[in-house]
Structure 1
């Protein structure tokens, strides 16, 4: 198995098709992004769209988002997804390690993420990587 993790540098039919397969495995309530939405992520200096390939085929992705506030640079990992056939082979770990390295390179003091408690394997991975639960209340306002 040849695993390769890289930031997406362009949006093509292969990337759009991969997200059409991956996003339904992550969320049943969000439609997969099209080329325009993916381009907005890839072209933004404030985000990195990591793509995981096994033997050349896209099997997973992770989005790393940055923003600056008065207390420093914040980094968030979002929408981590590894295709069902590739799970359990280190793809999620490799994606997260790439994101953590980039966050450190850009001067973030920490990296945040959220994960549903029902995603037991993902939560075990995050804890194994050194993420710790943060004592805060997460609030959401739906628009």
Structure 2
């Protein structure tokens, strides 16, 4: 597999998002090419290509980084691997690439959330070295 950090979004990437986002969330709207480009311009969009499928884009991950008074924070968001490519280590490769990028940007920690029902994803994150934190996660719906 090939993992890359996207700087310029193509129609191929837009089409991949049309296939991948519904596998991540049944209620999320598919982002437009312009919205995907905004993510890429922040140097935070990773894609995975599967050579066994002719280089088809089969996964994506977004790394969100931002500076706060106490340092650089990093979050991994919206990790999705196409059903046809699961079990090949693509999610792990995407995650490791994001961790390395966060390190390069000066983050000392990387956070993420994952629903308990996503058992394979939770095993992956623990295998990579993430530790479950006991905290209150609050959300305010606008």
Q: For this structure pair, what is the TM-score category when the shorter chain's length is used for normalisation?
A: over 0.9
Alignment pair present for 1:49 and 2:49:
no
Moved over 4 A (4+): none
Q: CA deviation at 1:48?
A: 0.9
Q: CA deviation at 1:12?
A: 1.2
CA distance in 1, matches of 2:118, 2:58: 18
User: Partner of 2:63 in structure 1?
Assistant: 64
Q: CA deviation at 1:104?
A: 0.8
CA distance in 2, matches of 1:109, 1:13: 35
What are structure 2's unaligned runs of at least 5 residues?
A: none
From 35, 38, 41, give the equivalent of 1:40: 38
Q: CA deviation at 1:61?
A: 0.3
Q: CA deviation at 1:135?
A: 2.0
CA distance in 2, matches of 1:10, 1:67: 21
CA distance in 2, matches of 1:106, 1:9: 16
User: Partner of 1:83 in structure 2?
Assistant: 82
Give me the TM-score of the superposition, normalised by structure 1. Answer: 0.95
Deviations 1:88-111 (A, max 9, x none): 000000000000011111110100
User: Partner of 2:9 in structure 1?
Assistant: 11
What are structure 1's unaligned runs of at least 5 residues?
A: none
CA distance in 1, matches of 2:75, 2:44: 11
Deviations 1:4-61 (A, max 9, x none): 00011211110000000000000011011110100111112xx410000001110000
